[in-house]
Structure 1
Amino acid sequence: MSTVVIAPELQKFLEVVRAELSDLDAEEQREITDGLVADLTDLIDDQGIEALGDPVAYAAELRQAAGLVSARKQVRERVAVGIRVHAVLDAAKARCRHVLEGLPGDVDELLTSLQPAWWVVRAYIAVQSVLLSSGGWSLSPVPDDSISGALALLVVVAASVQLGRGRLWPLTRWSGSALLRVVVLAINLIAIGLVPAVAGGFENREWDNYDAGYSDGMNEATGAYAVDDAGGTLFASGLPVGNIYPYDAAGNPLVGIQLFDQHGNPIQVKGKNECVYEGPEEVLTDTSRVFFPWSDGAAQRWNVFPLPSRIQGADVAEPDPTAFTGTNRPAVSGFPFVAVPKVSLPGLLTSAATTPPKAFVPGARTEDVNLVESGC
């Protein structure tokens, strides 16, 4: 078995090469250095020890030929990028301070003292912007006008202040880094850019308050429309609505029309009893008109119109379920008009259903109407 004798100069050269490749794993090192001793020994035999050259440069050539990048080089590049970012930000900060120093008064020191206030404002803008982006149109001083909105604001304010102080966990591990400085700068610029949107949200709040006040005033003055919270009672022209009488596009009365709002909720009136008048301002105290709901087979439906009614004794205030089996059966009557003017719109088709003549009692009701909770 023969022993390969390595010259001291070659041994030192190999140590430097291996040190330069120490960041690679063992398999990569073997691939690069396999046969290296024999190759360099032949090189020395042919050209002398001077042919070895710079071991660092040689290691770099080996790495490049294998298509491997030095981890240390990557670290150095990242450090260099960070230094350049710090330099750019420091230069921009210096220019801003130079401009501020040219203004009357100690503006730079004033702005520095106002930093904590900006941290709070930044958080406030962030919370209100989230509300706007989630579909809101108007903003209130307390976010969402709720306790949860106030608590969310307090949490975001605390986080914003800690970020401004450089104490926000877990960002403390990157304290002083170029990346964190860029992130904070971006947050501040975004917050400044959102100021007009937040201001617009508060302006919309003023319009909402104006519209609400205007609507309330109109309702109080004219009773244009309103709905109470208890029974869904509608009001028109300042008076409660006891029944609804629909007509089709041709102006003919309709019977059995179901009404729903834009959310699919039934538009209903709880038909209150009406006093029955014998003559002008003379009430028959022992009778009243009682309205009856329609039925879908499982429940009563107060959103189907017109509501049928009958005149019965004042001692029976509620609709009697057996009323439709007796002789005094409820009927649909009291349409305010025999017919109304025909309506149309270009390009729109209208329903073609025809109401049978026997579906309602013709003729408008002419007596006075006084809605009451029970009999008169």
Structure 2
Amino acid sequence: MNSTLTGAVASYLAQVRAELSDLPPGELADVLDDVTGHLTEVAAEFEGEPTGIALQERLGTPHEYAAELRTAAGYPPRTQPVTDQNPGNRALRWGLIATLVGPFFVAVAVFAGGQGASAFFGFVGFVILFGAAYLGVRALRGNDPRVVLDTPRGQRGERQIRDLIEQIPPNVRKELVTIGQPVWWVLRGAVGGGGFFLLFGAGAVAVVGAIGGAVLSVWVARRTQQDRRWLWYVIPLNVVAAVAVPAFLSAAFLGAYSGVFDRSDYNNSSNYNPPSDGLRWNGSEVTNVYPFDAQGKQVSVALYTQDGEAITLPLQGCATDNNNSGTKNSNILPHAVATYVPNEKPTEANPDESVCKDEIKAPFTPPQFPTTGPTSNPTPTPNPTPSAKVTPPPAKPTPGATLTVQPTR
């Protein structure tokens, strides 16, 4: 192995440097030259590149190794706290923030009720995700990304992931890699690109965003195979996709099913279930009824169903809120509606600027009722009786004529 330290060896040297950072710069450089040579010799004794655990089993922890150097060289013990100089620890810490915190806010945005809340939480989630991922890559400081696997937390995580992978049958694992992986690349990109525009209310370009997202996702996947630093971005985005893809597919399925169900309701009247509460007309809620008689005069009526049940509506008058009798509904219509008018005579007991007034008159003008037609009742004209005989009145006598009267026997 050459003198350029990489991987776990470089991470171990960085931690030793942090433990000895309080030494004078010249003496620190000399000590680190000796430590670099020693670590190179120790690493060459392994068959491959050693892990962080293997180095600690051989040399002790970086803190213990630095303490032995101080004792051997006669340096005093360190009194200042040590700043974490392990790039693997910091890179892993930022990676966990990008993987857990960022997708959490994105998940809240996916399931948020309002569009404004969805846009806000989505923006916060993506800012945290990409910001933490960028800081994680910067924390590597040019080291191989595998240095995170040399940290205790990274090693535990690697073992857990390997244990889960080993639970999958080998033939299934092969299919997941050869077929499932490309499908996942396209699916996560399409849902991510289209969902991003839908999240911010730009549904018109969602299809274009889905196509662009799929292409970008495949390119990023290929790029990640060449440069592992892209994992700081890809893994959090995979977590987001793991939440968004099922949610998107479920919403699409439920929307399609709801559309079919709604159409079947309208096509088959036997499946229609009208609302159980309240009075509705053409789909709108009826809060009051204003009856008029045939002459267009507003009247008060009591409404009942064909079964004799009262059709009641909630009271709306001024006394409704203070009604302690328990009567909140009535079928005597129309109901008085509470209106507020200026208080012309304010008193000390009632200094309000407005007072409540019950108004029962209809707030609209009914259409004009016809004077003729089915609703009018004209006086009928009697027809003459055919069997009746009309006797004409006797003629008046002509002046100068003689009226002769025949005696009746």
Q: Tell me the TM-score range normalised by the shorter chain.
A: 0.3 to 0.5
Bigger proportion of residues as helix = 2
TM-score (norm 2): 0.35
Rg larger for: 2
Q: Greater strand share, 1 or 2?
A: 1
TM-score where L is the length of structure 1:
0.38
